[in-house]
Amino acid sequence: MALQEPDSAAVNAEFFARDTHSRDVAELDTYRHIAAAIQRELAGVERLLDVGNGGVFMYDTRVIREVVAVDLFLDRLPRSRFAANVTPRNGSALDLDEPDAAFDGVLQSLLYHHLVGADAEAMVDNVRGAIAEAERVLKPGGRLIVAESCVPEWFYPVEKALFKPLLRLSKTPLLGGHPATIQLPIRRLAGLIGERLEVESAYQVEAGRWTTQFGRRWPTALTPARAFIVVARKADPPA
């Protein structure tokens, strides 16, 4: 099993503990479209595990009875950042400290492209690990909602070729403290989720004029990456 590259995990924690990402989520139109899609897909969820939360909620926590938010650094954030029905916990998407079949919903939002390993293929193994953990903690019939930045099929080999240089650059000031990332094509992402869960829908979110690349605001028209939502359900046990 591949593991998240240790330096990348540390850089992720350092970068997302800042307020920059939360401001971008609140202000940029692309993130508002993603948030609206997540809100719709969470309808009916009563106990939610929000994995890779980052201290940022792209949905109204008041409509969910109980939320457990998990990320690498939530102990560094003030408790006032979390609503009364939200329990923040430190933890990894690859090794959740949660019991089996405990949630009727799991949200993994803009997480997978940060689960990088020592090379591009290790990220795929890590995504499989995060999906496996989500499936484990879901109740039968529970839903996994994934929001993820994806690239076209033609661009994926380019990203793979650039990954090692980006990984080296992420350890310098040139990327502004943002970790190296790699994004999957939507067909491959849906296929990975479908290995463990029943995929119900996979669709592109409306793109706004602005998004972020390596933590910087960027015109959406200048990047091939687009946001997608995948919703999958854990099968009921055989009768």
Rounded to the nearest 10°, the torsion over CA 70, 196, 99, 182 is -20
DSSP string, 40-94: HHTTT-SEEEEET-TT--SS-GGGSSEEEEEESSGGGS-GGGS-TTEEEEE-BTT
Contact predicate 66/85, CB 8 Å: yes
Which pLDDT value is given to residue 44?
Answer: 96
> 153: domain CATH number?
3.40.50.150
Asked if residue 238 is part of any domain, the answer here is no
Flag whether 170 is in a domain: yes
Q: What is the pLDDT of residue 23?
A: 87
Q: Is 180 a member of any domain?
A: yes
pTM: 0.92
Quote the pLDDT of residue 174. 73
Q: What is the pLDDT, as a whole number, of residue 223?
A: 94
Domain membership of residue 233 (yes or no) is no
Q: Is residue 46 part of a domain?
A: yes
Give the pLDDT score at 3.
63
Has residue 42 been placed in a domain?
A: yes
Residue position matching structure tokens 């650094």: 73
pLDDT in tens, the chain (239 residues): 556 656 656 666 666 666 777 888 889 999 999 999 999 999 999 999 999 998 899 999 999 999 999 998 888 888 888 999 999 999 999 999 999 999 999 999 999 998 988 888 899 999 999 999 999 999 999 999 999 999 999 999 999 999 888 888 877 777 777 778 899 999 999 999 999 999 999 999 999 999 998 888 999 999 999 999 999 999 988 76
**Total structural domains in the chain?**
1
Show the domain range for 196: 6-208
Residue 87 within a domain? yes
With respect to residue 234, please indicate whether it lies within any of the assigned structural domains.
Answer: no
